[in-house]
Amino acid sequence: MIDWMKYRLMYLIISTLVIGAGVFSLFKWGLNLGVDFKGGAIIEYRLAKSYSTEELTQGIEKTGIAVTSIQQTEGSNYIFRFPPIEQAQKEQIKQGLEKITNNSVTELRFENVGPSIGPDLVKKTIIALIISASSILLWVAYQFKNLKFGVTAIIGMFHDSLVLIGSFSLLGHFFGAEIDFLFVTALLTILSFSVHDTIVNYDRIRESQKKVGGDLKFLANKATSETMVRSLNNSFTIIFMLMALVLLGGTTVKWFAIALLVGTVSGTYSSPFVSVSLLVTWDEIEKKLKRR
């Protein structure tokens, strides 16, 4: 049996580094908020052939409308971002592009979100997070009827949320990943994925506690050995599906799938190496205090 719990310091260092990088990025660059939160317009056009972003920017800015960014996605599809616009301005933008492309502009998608939507979404997101986290907390507490198990499972959940938010701050800064309502959806889903593996592991600990007995460190090692293959294999199948979606699913769901992917990996890692490790450490400290 592998002594998983011997390397707790290493797990702590890994988690600290990953979360540290994310938190650093959060303070330095913040989050790259999408139109859902910030307001603004996105128009995706398909043009007959590729153009440089300078050409396209000039074409639109001639009409007197400022472009926030232009991004070529695949083939000759382009995503244009603007501050919130009026219906008439949308026509002007199209006409501006038609001038440089000889009328070969197909509109694929248009999103225009006014500034009043974002603040509401933020509030509703926070409410949803509070309800999810506390109902999962209640469920875990009810399941284990034990403070130590419950609290460490929830710390694992916060660990995964921080990893996801931090990594999206980095991905946002370097690769333009945006925080939109799909990201929020992924975040909420990850909360539950995170406790999924932890519950399976803790179930094993409690089962062995009744049958075999022994100190918690031994039981945790046993349970982790027993659940490791399952946990990895299950994550692999989820990762296969998500990777297929990231690579083949198109731009609209790419970042959503990546967010779920980051969360799945972090959730698999955090169950034994954050939650269970903390559980064992807590138990050891408690024992030391009692001895004195």
CB of 192 to another protein, least distance (A): 4
CB of 103 to another protein, least distance (A): 17
Angle between helices 277-291 and 216-248 (to 10 degrees): 160
Q: Is 28 exposed, middle or buried (0-12, 13-18, 19+ CB in 10 A)?
A: exposed
Cβ proximity to another protein: between 32 and 198 the closer is 198
Q: Which residue, 163 or 182, has its beta carbon nearer to another protein? A: 182
Q: In the complex with another protein, which residue's Cβ is closer, 17 or 130?
A: 130
CB 217 within 8 A of CB 280: yes
Cβ-based nearer residue to another protein, 31 or 182: 182
Nearer to another protein, 208 or 281 (CB): 208
Query: What span, in angstroms and rounded, lies between the C-alpha atoms of 55 and 32?
Result: 26
User: Least distance to another protein from the beta carbon of 96, Å?
Assistant: 17
Shortest approach of another protein to residue 282 CB, angstroms? Answer: 21
State in angstroms the smallest separation of the CB of 114 from another protein.
4
- 118 contacts 36 by C-beta, under 8 angstroms: yes
> Comparing C-alpha atoms, which of 117, 82, 140, 77 is closest to residue 275?
140
Contacts of 105 by beta carbon, 8 Å cutoff, 6+ apart: 45, 46, 47, 94, 97, 98
